[in-house]
Structure 1
Amino acid sequence: MLDEPTRQLCAAIAERRLTQVRLAVVAAGDHGKTALLDHLRALCTAAGLTVARFDPARADDEPVDLVLADDAHTYGEAELAALARLLGDERTGVVVAARPRPRPAGLNAVLSRLRGQILLRPLERPQVAEHLAAYGVSIELAEFVRAQTGGVPGHVHRVVTALAAVPPSERGELPPAAFGGIRQELDRAEPGVLRFLLAVEAGAGPDIDLLGGLLGRDPEGVSTVIDLARATGLFGADGTLLPITLAALRALVPAERHAAVRQRLVELQLERGAPVLRLVRPWLGKAIAGPSVAKAFEAAADEALGSDPALAARLLEAAVAAGRPAAELGARRAEAVALAGDLDGALRLADEVIAASAATGRADGARVAATALTHRGQLGRSAELLQWSGTRRSRAFAAISLIATGRRAEAERELEKAAEGDGDEPPTLLSGALSAVARGVVESVGGAPTAALSTLVSSAEMLEPVGRAVLLPDSPAALGALVALHSGELTIAEPLLERALAARTGGVTLQARHQLLLAWIAMVRGDAALAAERLNAAEEVRQPRDWLFAVGLEVGLARRTSDLTALRRIWGVACEAVIRHPVDLFSFLPFGEFAMAAARLGERDRLAPHLAQAHAVLRGLGDPPLWAASLHWSELHAAIIAERAGEAKDHAAALAACAGHGAYFTAVADAAACWLKVLAGDIDAEEVEAAAHALRGSGLWWDGARLAGQAAIRTTDRKAMVALLDCARMLQGTSAASPSPPAEGAATEDSPGAARLSDRELQVAELVLGGMTYKEVGARLFISAKTVEHHMARMRQRLGAGSRAELLAQLRELLGDRPK
């Protein structure tokens, strides 16, 4: 299957239109050089020309029109000299075919005297399809055949003829018969070429030094072997082994030869301190052992840990199976398993290491176990293990756990010890970042919130380059986001978490935490849709700490959308989460949501011990305003919901004591005072609006809207009510400029039955059927409970319902048919 230029050239030679033929055909093996010469001989003979194969013994005076010299790269010096003499006879045409390598000086001299070259290219898909059709094989296999062979004509021909010989049902893979030509090539290849091919198949790549060690040759000798191998036609145009070559090597070369080459490559790489993962990975699952094999698995695991910790765990397990003592790798296996997301498995492995007095890496095992316990919410036990571990890294996280459980003095001592460090521990980027995290957390309870936040943000940025492969109990981004949420700095928290997600800080174990905190930010801002979207996007929540926040989000969203049915449904799950997760400083946000939900559902007694524990943690830290304010704010609203005026005043007073520590704390303190006035009926519209806008400025959009809305439905001043309602709508994301709903009594077109009710009446009906009281419906829609009652009476009159039960039944039927 010649391309058109080559076809025309052959015809010109046969028809004597091309005189003084001096042509070269230089191509790798199996590209069709011999087939081309056969075609040319047949064409010229049919045209009456005398054609002969090159023979050094042929008499010089024997007349011939065309001499064809095949495989000239195999000629010796005498043959090449005879061919050079033949080229001196201008009466005889000469076509010389050869591989690109080897290229002895005599062949170079011959080729330099030729005047042109015939190019042999790989077959394209249409040519492969034509060949398939000629042998009665479906042309749908054309792409498969070309992908396997790279279009190399010899390989294509053997694959097509082999496919033609097997049933159609067996044509989905390469038949063994297709390897015949490659078998011959391997049989006649010099040993160095075969070892090179096996090295490439093993993944050695074009590393001259590595190949030199394998082949026992200098760089020039290695280059020679590579050139010879590439001249075989077993490689594609991009320099990689063809799929058919890989399949043939695996089928034709004994497994022990593969293993010997691969093991030697691994030994050479280990001696050089070079990567071995690509070479070692195929050994997984195979029964091979020995000290060098175990060492190779161990080195490969170190390489895989950052990008694929699950693979690293398998490699370390294989190292143990290959003979490495399990006690020496237990801590590293536990860390790899933890980074892969299996904290339960990591805790089991780490505990085995801690318990074995002869095990190495017990300090690291304690750190891994402490990490797993932190994710479970057991910060007290985590702190004990980290203190016992005693490394600089462990002491930094011990300080964080101690702060979280209210033990400030101990935390500061651990931070001092971490700063002193161990003389054997280098001051790495990681150790510096983790020390900064601990300092930031300590600053959050004893210094200015802005200073703590600044330290945590800088430590998060410092950790980004290396954080993906580091097992962390918590990330500086998550801790920084918590500080930001507790101080109203949401514009700092959000990008901080997004960067941590992009950098995959802490690996898979912290991805869900970062997602959940992003969802919390959206919820605080009043964007329930975005919060739900981020909650759903969070990776599978497996550990109690993440589950606590996920449940807290569901509770918070149900409360903010006044979905009492959903709140009741999730409350049982919330109670279970509360039991499984002890209160610590970093869990105040979900516990605050649970406090408000408990008040709404009449379950305050169930949560009281946990809130008492939260206040005990605060007292142990000296009641730091940064962490105390949010808890008092939540408890203020819980008291308001439960109609406990005395408790509400106590929490408002506590918030007032925090007011001097920043704009956020001033905003919530002012809003708390404003709430007390609103509840007492003392409503100053301007004061309420100012407090609501200050809450919005601190990130508490929904809280600001609710304050304005509740003030609106309690004031007797109509002008103030309109202004406050407009303020509430604006803070909630709508404004007075938005299109107004239809007037009372205006018909809707959702369904025939609904045509008798206004949009506002349908809204009221949906909320009442959802289980809300008139007071709750009014709070949701920023109208009074009396107005809700008025709407219900009008609906009963319009629908002709004889009783409230009959009205509710009609509304259920009507709204059930209404498009959502």
Structure 2
Amino acid sequence: MIAQIVPAWTESDAETAEQAWRDGDVFGAIEAADRALAAGTDTDGRAAGVAAAGAAADGALLDAAARWRGVGAALEGAAAARAAGRAAMAAALTGDVATAVSDLADARDQLPDPAPRGLTVLLGGAGAVVEAMGGALDRASRHLAGLAAASVAPDPMAAERLDELAVTVTAAGGDVDTARALLHALPGPPTGRGRLLRAWLDMRTGHLAAARDSLAAAARTPVLRRDALLGAAVSVGLARRTGDTAAVAATWARVAPVVAGTDVELLLLDAWGELSVVAEQVSPTDRDLVVDAMRSALHRAGSPWWGVAADRWWQLERAVVADDAAAATQAATELTALAAEHPRLRGRADAATAWAAVLDGRVCPVAVDDAAARLADSGLRAEAAALCRGAAQRTTDPAATRRLLGAGRGLRPATGGSRTSGLLSGREREVGALVLDGLTQKEIGARLYISPKTVEQHVARLRQKLAASNRAALVAALRTHLEQ
């Protein structure tokens, strides 16, 4: 008879949960953590920590912060400080600045001397997010980038990586071109959230085909609600930019459950704004819910100027969709007042003023052209092109229409060293770029003020010149030749 050997030690569910989380097995980690919490065997707070990290990943950042506070209250020293620092990070991301400051104070009270380097980096990152909420966006971004370059591994239990936070803060400050460049320069393969940030910034800067590619890459791995919210903003934004109302409605129906119940992150207020514009087109009830959530987060943060500016910009975008000149004028007036104190807002303020005039039936091509150029300088070329296009649709002067449409076409992202510059005509490059953006021939015709039949002829010539036998092959060839 062979005696059964029983190991003297087996890994607890709490330990299993923490290790699974660190290995990237989110669902396995949460399942093991729930077992430990239900059985009352989580003696050292490991399972509770995984539950807190899981809440943050699921978009419940306020709940995550509260859970981390509970973990910290049961611990001492560095472990307590780490839990409080993670609580501060989660709270700060939702704009709960006062609570985040209190969490940071608690963390510093628990710091051992000397403190672990990774712990001081975590607390510095949370402090930088608090700094950003107060309006010091440039300084906070540099601070986060510096901390991210420190020789410590990223904290796998914190709500977000510091290098990606630096990118998000830069974008929240209105410099989306720089944010996109920073993200593309990060070393190593992108994380799932990094791919979604890339998709978001590609879309915001008008690189729609690249945004689709990044969104598709992110979709190959499971994501929880917090990241799915960002993916939802990209999905509806891409649908909106095609002008296909049926696609917009279908996309909204698909992403609306993701939006419901997710805490608003103030640094991603622009993503929520994009969602609010699509809701304006599809569902007034959903629009009100999204806008109320945005403004509650702003109020919780003390209504920082940059957040108020973002909110008023999206009020303008909703007014454009609704053809509401009065709402556009109100948004433009408030943005202009903010720009008097914060010059970086001048581009948005001028664009809002131009849009308000256009919606009111007063089209001044010079003013629109100038405002669009300023908007494009901040990286928002798609919004600048939309302004030119909207003005062109409302003027009765053929010369003004031609000028505005030409200005709008010139605001597309540069294609870089195109190998087809001597092969394709200017109009063929315009059509090809819109094919890449996912527009149908009818939509391309409406965008360029040419007939669908003419578009069909241009597409046929593109296929011939690029040796593309079908649309999929054409898209692949155009992506190789035209995209950055």
Smaller-chain TM-score range? 0.7 to 0.9
Question: Is residue 252 of structure 2 the alignment partner of residue 571 of structure 1?
Answer: yes
The residue that corresponds to 1:405 in the other structure is 94
Task: Give 2:8's match in structure 1, choosing from 319, 323, 329.
Answer: 323
Change (3 A) 1:367 1:777: farther
Distance, in Å, in 2 between the alignment partners of 1:359 and 1:616 is: 35
Distance, in Å, in 2 between the alignment partners of 1:716 and 1:681 is: 10
Question: Is residue 60 of structure 2 the alignment partner of residue 378 of structure 1?
Answer: yes
The 5-angstrom pairing of residues 409-448 of structure 1 reads 409-423=98-112, 426-448=114-136
The residue that corresponds to 1:396 in the other structure is 85
Distance, in Å, in 1 between the alignment partners of 2:324 and 2:253 is: 24
Runs of 5+ in structure 1 lacking a partner?
1-286, 290-321, 505-510, 743-758, 796-817
TM superposition shift of 1:477:
2.2
Change (3 A) 1:427 1:653: farther
Task: Give 1:466's match in structure 2, choosing from 153, 167, 170.
Answer: 153
Kindly provide the CA deviation profile for residues 492-544 of structure 1, in whole angstroms up to 9, marking residues without a partner as x: 4235434556177xxxxxx2111110111111111111111111222413311
The 5-angstrom pairing of residues 712-731 of structure 1 reads 712-731=392-411
3-state SS of 1:732 partner: coil
3-state SS of 1:474 partner: coil
TM superposition shift of 1:480:
2.0
Change (3 A) 1:740 1:459: closer
TM-score relative to the length of structure 2: 0.80
Maintained 8 Å contact 1:395/1:415: yes
Change (3 A) 1:574 1:501: farther
Change (3 A) 1:341 1:658: farther
The 5-angstrom pairing of residues 725-804 of structure 1 reads 725-733=405-413, 739-741=425-427, 778=446, 780-781=447-448, 783=449
Q: Partner letter of residue 649 of structure 1?
A: T
The 5-angstrom pairing of residues 76-115 of structure 1 reads none
Q: Partner letter of residue 481 of structure 1?
A: V
The 5-angstrom pairing of residues 251-330 of structure 1 reads 322-324=7-9, 326=11, 329-330=12-13
The residue that corresponds to 2:212 in the other structure is 532
Change (3 A) 1:647 1:422: same
Distance, in Å, in 2 between the alignment partners of 1:777 and 1:395 is: 56
3-state SS of 1:502 partner: coil
The residue that corresponds to 2:326 in the other structure is 646
3-state SS of 2:330 partner: helix
TM superposition shift of 1:767:
7.3
TM superposition shift of 1:631:
3.2
Runs of 5+ in structure 2 lacking a partner?
73-79, 416-421, 455-468, 472-484
Maintained 8 Å contact 2:65/2:90: yes
Distance, in Å, in 2 between the alignment partners of 1:426 and 1:344 is: 36
The residue that corresponds to 1:746 in the other structure is none
Larger Rg: 1
Distance, in Å, in 1 between the alignment partners of 2:196 and 2:400 is: 39
The 5-angstrom pairing of residues 321-720 of structure 1 reads 322-324=7-9, 326=11, 329-354=12-37, 359-362=42-45, 364-390=46-72, 391-423=80-112, 426-462=114-150, 465-467=152-154, 470-498=156-184, 500=186, 502=188, 511-538=191-218, 539-601=220-282, 603-660=283-340, 662-720=342-400
More helix by share: 2
3-state SS of 2:8 partner: coil
Q: Partner letter of residue 478 of structure 1?
A: E
Distance, in Å, in 2 between the alignment partners of 1:656 and 1:406 is: 24
Maintained 8 Å contact 2:56/2:159: yes
Distance, in Å, in 1 between the alignment partners of 2:247 and 2:187 is: 30
Kindly provide the CA deviation profile for residues 135-181 of structure 1, in whole angstroms up to 9, marking residues without a partner as x: xxxxxxxxxxxxxxxxxxxxxxxxxxxxxxxxxxxxxxxxxxxxxxx
TM superposition shift of 1:454:
1.5
Q: Partner letter of residue 371 of structure 1?
A: A
Change (3 A) 1:491 1:406: closer
The residue that corresponds to 1:19 in the other structure is none
Kindly provide the CA deviation profile for residues 247-275 of structure 1, in whole angstroms up to 9, marking residues without a partner as x: xxxxxxxxxxxxxxxxxxxxxxxxxxxxx
The 5-angstrom pairing of residues 15-34 of structure 1 reads none
Change (3 A) 1:359 1:594: closer
Change (3 A) 1:687 1:544: same
Maintained 8 Å contact 1:501/1:514: no
Kindly provide the CA deviation profile for residues 336-374 of structure 1, in whole angstroms up to 9, marking residues without a partner as x: 211233323322333444566664321x43322111111
3-state SS of 1:649 partner: helix
Maintained 8 Å contact 1:500/1:514: no
TM superposition shift of 1:731:
0.5
Distance, in Å, in 2 between the alignment partners of 1:697 and 1:703 is: 11
Distance, in Å, in 1 between the alignment partners of 2:189 and 2:8 is: 36
Maintained 8 Å contact 1:708/1:724: yes
TM superposition shift of 1:586:
4.5
Distance, in Å, in 1 between the alignment partners of 2:272 and 2:117 is: 35
Maintained 8 Å contact 2:84/2:104: yes
Maintained 8 Å contact 1:338/1:346: yes
Distance, in Å, in 2 between the alignment partners of 1:528 and 1:383 is: 35
TM superposition shift of 1:661:
5.9
TM superposition shift of 1:646:
2.8
Q: Partner letter of residue 526 of structure 1?
A: G
Kindly provide the CA deviation profile for residues 538-589 of structure 1, in whole angstroms up to 9, marking residues without a partner as x: 2413311122222221111111122333223212112121125243425533
TM superposition shift of 1:705:
1.2
Distance, in Å, in 1 between the alignment partners of 2:427 and 2:58 is: 49
Change (3 A) 1:483 1:716: same
3-state SS of 1:535 partner: helix
Q: Partner letter of residue 8 of structure 2?
A: G
Identify which of structures 1 and 2 has the higher relative contact order when contacts are C-alpha pairs closer than 8 Å and 6+ apart.
2
Distance, in Å, in 2 between the alignment partners of 1:572 and 1:566 is: 10
In the alignment of these two chains, the number of paired residues is 434
Distance, in Å, in 2 between the alignment partners of 1:411 and 1:767 is: 45
Change (3 A) 1:696 1:351: same
3-state SS of 1:653 partner: helix
Maintained 8 Å contact 2:144/2:166: yes
Change (3 A) 1:358 1:422: farther
Change (3 A) 1:610 1:520: same
Distance, in Å, in 2 between the alignment partners of 1:356 and 1:519 is: 42
TM superposition shift of 1:660:
4.6
3-state SS of 2:260 partner: helix
